[in-house]
Homo-oligomer: A and B are copies of this chain.
Amino acid sequence: MEKIDVGKKVLSANEAYALKNRALLAQRGKPCFNMISSPGSGKTTILVRTITDLAGSLRIGVIEGDIQTDIDAQRIQAAQAPAVQINTEGACHLSAAQVHRGLEELPLDRLDLVLIENVGNLVCPSAFELGEHGKIVVLSAPEGDDKPVKYPAIFAKSRVLLVNKIDLLGGAQVDFDLERVQADARRLNRDIAIFPVSAKTGAGMQAWYDWLTDQARAMR
């Protein structure tokens, strides 16, 4: 019982910052999306390729959430995009207060869009609103096609599902039924946009780029 009360308190402190972030983003006219997945699904690789391929047409800033290290922010900065690293020091998700500091540090006026890379965790980040305009869940093919059924919360709440590492499909080595994933995700969330991609080979990425570009255009 105590545990439930506590959850409520933490959520409402977090939600106050989420509302602040939403107001800031609305005032500056910048869309912001929160990328959530298991560790190693390829969030950073997707970001690096997206930033590189859209250079000159969409200016993306990144808030990088990690428990420790700034490996990911370094990869984003190497792709010539502004990135703010937030270390959660053991915490399993980004908080809206941390994202608020990240938004203050980013040069928002020179950006079209902000992408948040949450801590690698398919469970906890789904419970914390950051003030974003939507969540993007990334599932990589080697993780298996049972994930929407086993971890439904994040699939139910996301605007977009990126199915990454599709370059590993088609051989005998990775068993993954893309149609099952699409059907299970749509059962949880009728309106979810699903983009099968390979951030490594570039396959399928254009549809994702078009979606992102439309979001930035809609906020102008």
Bound complex: CA of A41 vs CA of B39, how far in Å?
A: 10
**Which of these, B3, B124, B147, contacts A10 with CB under 8 Å?**
B3
Bound complex: CA of A122 vs CA of B119, how far in Å?
A: 10
Give the Cβ gap from A220 to chain B, nearest Cβ, in Å.
36
**Contact in complex: B152, A68 (CB < 8 Å):** yes
Bound complex: CA of A66 vs CA of B147, how far in Å?
A: 11
A residues within 8 Å of B by Cβ? 2-3, 6, 9-10, 38-41, 66-69, 71, 90, 92, 119-124, 127, 140, 142-144, 146-147, 149-153, 165, 167-168, 173-174, 200
Which residue from chain B places its CB closest to the CB of A176 in the assembled complex?
B40
One complex includes copies of this chain to the number of: 2
Contacts A38-B39, A38-B120 given; indicate if A149 touches B69 (C-beta within 8 A).
Answer: yes
A41 cross-chain contacts in B, Cβ below 8 A: 143
